[in-house]
Structure 1
């Protein structure tokens, strides 16, 4: 195989990946604005600026691209929580939560469907969202210096993420009645309480440092 042929294949692969991502981005945008039934395959292709048939080529059908949009949104939600690794852990957590809330507010419809769908309503959508939740828990645990594999911590951290999601859903459904920074303060208090509850379940746990880190984010900007 010549260098020219290899370069041509690389270029085509890059173009295909770019087209595929454009379709996913368009799907995220449209499903954030409208319900599943109100979005047509033609709408997604038009928004992406690609031929109608390419959507079927890459995703098979509307359900296929919807699931990819959900996975992409879930991955983005997790990535939005990333912040400058050179910042203290407390500031990283606070900045990540604020970015997380702003992303969900900008994609309100899709965010609400993710949070409110429930496993029974759409197991595949729920599984994609749940995987993102566990990645968030693992990231937070690393920053807080705790082990998410300890049963009591695992259960209560998962519970706190669920509470965060429900609080965020209410916030979005009711016109964002509180500013982002106030929401961050509240959500951090919920997480700190969950850590204390884990220590109540498992007396061998010492969560003092982790709780102090959570509360520092509320008071030390």
Structure 2
């Protein structure tokens, strides 16, 4: 293959990838605003300004588009904990929580359905969401220097995430009760308290350095 042909193919592939990503981003917006059953492929195509056949070309079905939208949302939630900046663990955690909650607020409908629906509502979507949550827990464990394989810490981590989920739901449904900085501060305190309780389950769990880094 000649160099010009290779360049042309490369540009074409890049354009296709960009188009697909744009369609996914628009699908996230549409599914955030409406329940799954209320959304049609035509709705997404109209918002994107493309023929609805293009969505079938990339995603095969409305279900395929939805799962890609869920995956993109889960990755964005995860990215809040992967791309934070700060000088210490406490600042990093606060920044991650703020970005995470901001994303949930900006995509309220889809976020509530993912968190509230659970596995029984949509096993495939929940599996994608759960995988992202495990990535978040792993990232937090690395940030705090915790043993990801410690059973007590894994247990505490899952319970803490469950509490944060419930708090997020309450806040999304009652956004005027507390402002974002208040909620971030409370969640940070919750994480510290839950982490401290791990010693009840495993007195030998190495949590002292992690707790010190969050003070």
TM over 0.5, shorter chain: yes
Which residue in 1 is equivalent to 2:154?
154
Asked if 1 retains the 8 angstrom alpha-carbon contact of 2:84 and 2:96, the reply is yes
Number of residue pairs aligned between Structure 1 and Structure 2: 214
- State the distance in 1 between where 2:212 and 2:115 align: 29
- State the distance in 2 between where 1:145 and 1:39 align: 43
Which residue in 1 is equivalent to 2:131?
131
Instruction: Give unmatched runs, 5+ long, in structure 2.
Output: none
Worse-superposed segment, 90-99 or 189-198: 189-198
Computed over aligned residues only, the root mean square deviation of the Cα atoms, in angstroms, reads 1.2
CA offsets 1:159-218 (integer angstroms, 9 cap, x no match): 10111011101110123421111111111122112212221111111312212333x2xx
The alignment's TM-score, normalised by the length of structure 2, stands at 0.95
In structure 2, relative to structure 1, the CA distance for the partners of 1:34 and 1:19 (3 Å cut) is: same
- State the distance in 2 between where 1:75 and 1:187 align: 21
Which residue in 1 is equivalent to 2:84?
83
After TM superposition, which residue ranges in structure 1, 4 or more long, deviate above 6 angstroms?
none
- State the distance in 1 between where 2:116 and 2:212 align: 31
CA offsets 1:81-113 (integer angstroms, 9 cap, x no match): 3212x5212111111101111111111101101
Asked if 1 retains the 8 angstrom alpha-carbon contact of 2:42 and 2:52, the reply is yes
**1:117 match: secondary structure:** helix
In structure 2, relative to structure 1, the CA distance for the partners of 1:68 and 1:176 (3 Å cut) is: farther
Tell whether 2:129 aligns with 1:109.
Answer: no
Which residue in 1 is equivalent to 2:202?
202
Asked if 2 retains the 8 angstrom alpha-carbon contact of 1:19 and 1:50, the reply is no
Instruction: Give unmatched runs, 5+ long, in structure 1.
Output: 217-221
The alignment's TM-score, normalised by the length of structure 1, stands at 0.93
Which residue in 2 is equivalent to 1:219?
none
- State the distance in 1 between where 2:135 and 2:80 align: 12
CA positional deviation for 1:51:
2.1
**1:119 match: secondary structure:** helix
**1:193 match: secondary structure:** helix
Asked if 2 retains the 8 angstrom alpha-carbon contact of 1:25 and 1:48, the reply is no
Q: How does 1:1-221 map to 2 (within 5 A)?
A: 1-81=1-81, 82-84=83-85, 87-214=87-214, 216=215
Asked if 1 retains the 8 angstrom alpha-carbon contact of 2:146 and 2:206, the reply is no
- State the distance in 2 between where 1:176 and 1:160 align: 24
